[in-house]
């Protein structure tokens, strides 16, 4: 595995973009400079022929949807390893789905703008990052011998409609929700020695490049949110809450349980009732939730949806 990263990008904090407006072109120029200094090409930066060692998990066991449940306790070590490998492939497979949606949102957002402007060049750079990430995650599943997990057809159709229609801060907020939750998750994986080198390398690459995406998304949200009328704000809040709920509920597809020799129905019910997993997700969403509150995009009736999926 050749992907090693000596230091990572600082994680954006909730307060840094909510109050002080940052010039869009200046920020874009800075992000372009950072991308020029540190970007990856996973097709060549990862050793895809390296052996997959036995005895290592696909993700940190504490991030497994079943960790701490009687089903986890009753599973063999081999089953836990298979389960966590498939869970990582499912989460990154659903990540590919989301990357395909956000590439469309970003491209629609800059359509017709002057390509000489830094924000357009930054948006194209972000899309190029996502193209490489999607290939990286697809190959990871192939290398682990897992299927290409993705959400069911009904969710794929909903996503397509969202990508075609969404605009305003909700588009960037939807991007941010998934990027921030995955960021916290992958920061844990990349330094966990109990985890497969392929998981750690792909997580490291994603964390470094996504830090720039999150910074840009936060600024776009902070800039656009104050321009909303109260009716638009209500609509945007509902949309963001719905996308977040759907994304979180679909991260781990039921096929992962069958792959580990577990009953998919029973395992899914155990995962849904697993307070430990809910706590991990809620902790991962803490910074994001306080930022979205700060800019007025969480609140009112939509808050019920955030609570239902356990993110608030």
Q: Does residue 268 touch Fe ion according to CB under 5 A?
A: no
Q: Please tell me what DSSP assigns to residue 280.
A: H
**Is the CB of 75 or the CB of 134 nearer to Fe ion?**
134
CB nearer Fe ion, residue 45 or residue 303: 45
Contact call for residue 132 and Fe ion (CB under 5 A): no
Fill in the per-residue mask, 165 to 194: x = in contact with Fe ion (CB under 5 A), - = not in contact: ------------------------------
Report the residue from 80, 86, 119, 133 that binds Fe ion according to the rule CB under 5 A.
133
Q: Is 3 helix (H, G, I), strand (E, B) or coil?
A: coil
Among residues 286, 262, 255, 276, the alpha carbon closest in space to that of 93 is found at 255
Interacting stretch for Fe ion, rule CB under 5 A, among 19-27, 39-47, 128-136, 241-249? 128-136
Least separation in angstroms between residue 137's CB and Fe ion is 8
Q: How far is the CB of 179 from Fe ion (least distance, A)?
A: 5
Do 195 and 60 touch, CB atoms closer than 8 A?
yes
Residue closer to Fe ion by CB (options 180, 210) is: 210
Closest of 210, 139, 151 to residue 181, by C-alpha: 210
Q: How far is CA 187 from the centre of its chain?
A: 12
132 vs 233, which CB is nearer to Fe ion?
132
**What is the CB neighbour count within 10 angstroms for residue 282?**
16
Phi, psi of 57 (to 5 degrees): -80, 160
Binding mask 17-56 for Fe ion (x = CB under 5 A): ----------------------------------------
- Residue 7: how many other CB atoms lie within 10 Å: 7
Site for Fe ion in 191-210 (CB under 5 A): 210
CA dist., res. 2 & res. 18, Å (int)? 37
Q: What CA–CA distance (Å, rounded) separates 232 from 291?
A: 19
Cβ proximity to Fe ion: between 219 and 268 the closer is 219
Q: What Cα–Cα distance (Å) separates residue 307 from each residue in 14, 240, 286, 298?
A: 20, 13, 13, 11
Q: Which is nearer to Fe ion, 83 or 173 (CB)?
A: 173
Contact 243, 237 (CB under 8 A): no
Q: Which is nearer to Fe ion, 71 or 205 (CB)?
A: 205
Chain-centroid distance of CA 265 in Å reads: 25
> Which residue, 108 or 234, is less far from Fe ion as judged by CB?
108
Q: Does 213 bind Fe ion (CB under 5 A)?
A: yes
Closest C-alpha to 277, from 139, 150, 185, 156: 185
Applying CB under 5 A, the site for Fe ion has a residue count of: 4
Cβ of residue 121: shortest distance to Fe ion, in angstroms?
Answer: 16
Sites of contact with Fe ion (CB under 5 A): 130, 133, 210, 213
């Amino acid at each position: 595995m050749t992907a090693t990263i000596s230091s990572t990008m600082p994680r954006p904090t909730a307060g840094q973009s909510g109050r002080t407006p940052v010039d869009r072109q200046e920020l874009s120029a800075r992000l372009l400079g950072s991308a020029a200094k540190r970007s990856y090409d996973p097709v060549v930066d990862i050793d895809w022929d390296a052996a997959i060692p036995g005895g290592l998990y696909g993700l940190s066991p504490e991030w497994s949807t079943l960790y701490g449940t009687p089903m986890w306790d009753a599973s063999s070590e081999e089953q836990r390893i298979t389960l966590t490998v498939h869970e990582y492939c499912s989460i990154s497979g659903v990540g590919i789905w989301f990357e395909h949606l956000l590439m469309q949102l970003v491209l629609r957002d800059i359509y017709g703008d002057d390509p000489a402007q830094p924000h357009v060049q930054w948006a194209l750079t972000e899309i190029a990052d996502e193209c490489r990430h999607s290939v990286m995650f697809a190959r990871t599943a192939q290398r682990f011998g897992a299927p290409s997990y993705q959400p069911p057809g009904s969710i794929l159709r909903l996503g397509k409609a969202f990508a075609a229609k969404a605009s305003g801060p909700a588009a960037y907020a939807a991007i941010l929700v998934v990027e921030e939750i995955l960021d916290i998750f992958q920061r844990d994986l990349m330094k966990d020695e109990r985890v497969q080198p392929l998981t750690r390398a792909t997580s490291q690459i994603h964390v470094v490049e996504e830090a720039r995406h999150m910074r840009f998304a936060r600024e776009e949200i902070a800039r656009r949110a104050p321009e909303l009328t109260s009716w638009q704000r209500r609509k945007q809040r509902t949309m963001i809450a719905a996308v977040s709920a759907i994304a979180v509920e679909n991260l781990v597809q039921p096929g992962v349980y069958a792959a580990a020799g577990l009953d998919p129905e029973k395992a899914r019910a155990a995962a849904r009732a697993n307070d430990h997993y809910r706590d991990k997700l809620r902790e991962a969403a803490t910074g994001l939730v306080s930022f979205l509150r700060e800019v007025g995009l969480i609140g009112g009736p939509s808050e019920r949806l955030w609570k239902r999926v356990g993110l608030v």
